[in-house]
Copies of this chain bind each other. A is one copy, B any other.
Amino acid sequence: MDLNEALYTTRAMRRVKPDPIPEEAVKAMLDAAVRAPSGGNNQNWRFVTVTDPALKAALGDLYRDAWKILQNTVYKKAYERAEAVGDTQTMRIRSSSEWLAENFEVVPLWVFFFSRNDPTGASIFPGVWNMMLSARGLGIGTCLTTIAGFFKSDEVFEVLGVPTDKGWVNNAAISAGYPLGRWGTAKRRPANEVVFSERWGNRPDWTVDEPLWLEPENYGRS
């Protein structure tokens, strides 16, 4: 796959089929993950792949608890406002994230990422994202989630048997499966609206009116 196609069309793909992911694909995704840089090349990371139904059921309950906390706190006002003003894009995100919570066990593969000595996330997330881009190249949809590790960390450690005295942190859990939906370029705020030239507040001379990488049949979907 072309690099730009992957960069432009790797978006949250939450709704997936239950079909298992072949071992060769799992290896390729994780081999891509370890290619990413980390501070001082420390590679202070571990990745736990989860496919076992009993483990998925236990983690799914934690994920759903975390999801409910998120809905009732961080996202509460945003979703109320979206519903009030008819913001369909936000409501679609809510709906697909609800699907992922309700169907946690349907997702054939979850990969839990752990790191240590990485207070900013700069060392773990390039590897996480490499895995997700590699998956895209293999036609596998992924979604980056952080809520179980954020709201239910102790319980996640217990279920997966992670030592609690070695400094490990659960940074993310990535869902992976063959998508039910179609690939496409996600709608984003144009780059020129979030870039400043030289100093904060100075708009650049250029604009980006549509994604610079275009595949005609994909463009326009969101």
Contacts and interface: CB of A to CB of B under 8 A. Distances in A.
A194 B113 CA distance: 10
Query: Contact size class for A?
Result: 35 or more
A99 interface: no
A139 interface: no
A103 interface: no
A31 B208 contact: yes
Interface stretch (A47-55, A61-69, A175-183): A47-55
A7 B26 CA distance: 15
Copies per complex of this chain: 2
B93 A40 contact: yes
State the main secondary structure of chain A at its contact with B. mixed
Nearest to A204: B49
Interface string A21-34: 00100011011111
B196 A48 contact: yes
A27 to B, nearest CB: 5
Given A2-B3, A48-B199, A199-B160, A150 B191 contact: no
Which of A1, A161, A185 has its CB near the most chain B CB atoms (within 10 A)? A161
A57 interface: no
